[in-house]
Structure 1
Amino acid sequence: MSNLSNILIQLSVGIVPLGVAYLAFRSATDANKKTQQTALMQAERHAELERSKVDADAFVRAKTIYEDALTQMEKQVARLQGQAAQVSADLVSEQTSAAAMREQISQFQAQIRALERTVIALRAQLIAAGLSPVAISETTGPFMIGHPPRPRTAE
């Protein structure tokens, strides 16, 4: 029996280091897995951080481009508003000038009608005095002003 107990003692003394070795192996394997998982998570975080940096840089560039375009459009709108105001002022000036010219034309036409009446009256006086008036084409030139000439009446 002592042989058996010796074997059992030796076996138990041999099993303890094997158990400790197994536990150490298991702990090392678990630690390795955790280290790999941590490394993977850190790599993913790093990749996500890099993507965020790239996205942030792209956002800043897009924002700068947008703001520059907006500034240019605001300048263009201001320029167009200035031009529209100038065109509006020019239109008012032209309308005022056109109205003044229409008024002058109306006055000239009234003066021409008055002069034509005077000429007709003077012709009638010349004819009544027994004198022959000058032909209409000699007084007006090649173009007629106002009404066509009346045929002469023989007296």
Structure 2
Amino acid sequence: MSGLSDIIVQLAIAIVPLGVAYLAFRSATDANKKTQQTALQQAERQAELERSKVDAEAFTRAKTIYEAALTQMEQQVARVQSQAEQFSTDLIAEQTTATAMGGQIRQLQAQIRALERTVAALRAQLISAGLSPVPASDPTGPFSIRRSPRTRFSE
């Protein structure tokens, strides 16, 4: 029995390094898996970081474009407001001029009516004094005027 117990002891002693080797292999395999998982997680984080950088750069470019467009729109609005103010000023000036001209036209029309009455009265005076007014066929004479409905005299 001593030989059998020696073999069992030797087998037990031989199994211990095999168990330790198996445990070391298992630990190394687990560590390798964890290292791969960590590397994969780091790669994913790096990829996410790169995507974030790309997104940040795209956002910065978009913001720059947006701000430039906004600045241009603000400038255009300022120009339009300036033009509207100028148009408003011009419109007020035109309205003032039109009002003044309308007054002058009414004044001139009143003067024309007064002159027509004066001409008709002078014509009547000439005819009643026995004088003949200038014939309308005279190219150097006065232009013919319309007769006032109150005069019944003929030329």
Partner in structure 2 of residue 70 of structure 1: 70
Partner in structure 2 of residue 139 of structure 1: 142
1:149 Cα shift? 3.3
Partner in structure 1 of residue 14 of structure 2: 14
| CA RMSD, 1 decimal | 1.8
Aligned equivalents of 1:18 and 1:139: distance in 2?
Answer: 144
Partner in structure 2 of residue 149 of structure 1: 147
What TM-score comes out, normalization by structure 1 length?
A: 0.90
Q: 1:154 to 1:83 in 2, by over 3 A?
A: closer
Q: 1:15 to 1:35 in 2, by over 3 A?
A: same
Amino acid at match of 2:111: Q
What TM-score comes out, normalization by structure 2 length?
A: 0.90
1:2 Cα shift? 0.7
Superposition misfits of 4+ residues, deviation over 2 angstroms: 135-138, 148-155
Partner in structure 1 of residue 127 of structure 2: 127
Aligned equivalents of 1:136 and 1:91: distance in 2?
Answer: 46
Unaligned runs of 5+ in 2: none
Aligned equivalents of 1:72 and 1:85: distance in 2?
Answer: 20
Q: What are the within-5 Å matches in structure 2 for residues 69-148 of structure 1? A: 69-136=69-136, 138-140=141-143, 148=146
Q: What are the within-5 Å matches in structure 2 for residues 42-61 of structure 1? A: 42-61=42-61
1:133 Cα shift? 1.1
CA contact (8 A) 1:136 1:149 kept: no
Secondary structure, aligned partner of 2:142: helix
Partner in structure 2 of residue 33 of structure 1: 33
Q: 1:99 to 1:153 in 2, by over 3 A?
A: same
CA contact (8 A) 2:124 2:153 kept: no
Aligned equivalents of 2:2 and 2:58: distance in 1?
Answer: 82
1:5 Cα shift? 0.5
Once the two structures are superposed, what CA deviation does each residue of 1:57-115 show, in whole Å capped at 9, x if it has no partner?
A: 10011001000100000000000000011011111111111111111111111111111
1:135 Cα shift? 3.1
Secondary structure, aligned partner of 1:25: helix
Aligned equivalents of 1:98 and 1:33: distance in 2?
Answer: 93
Figure out how many residues of one structure are paired with residues of the other and give that number: 150
Aligned equivalents of 1:131 and 1:113: distance in 2?
Answer: 24
Aligned equivalents of 2:109 and 2:154: distance in 1?
Answer: 30
Identity of aligned residues (%): 73
Unaligned runs of 5+ in 1: none
CA contact (8 A) 2:126 2:132 kept: yes
Aligned equivalents of 1:154 and 1:112: distance in 2?
Answer: 22
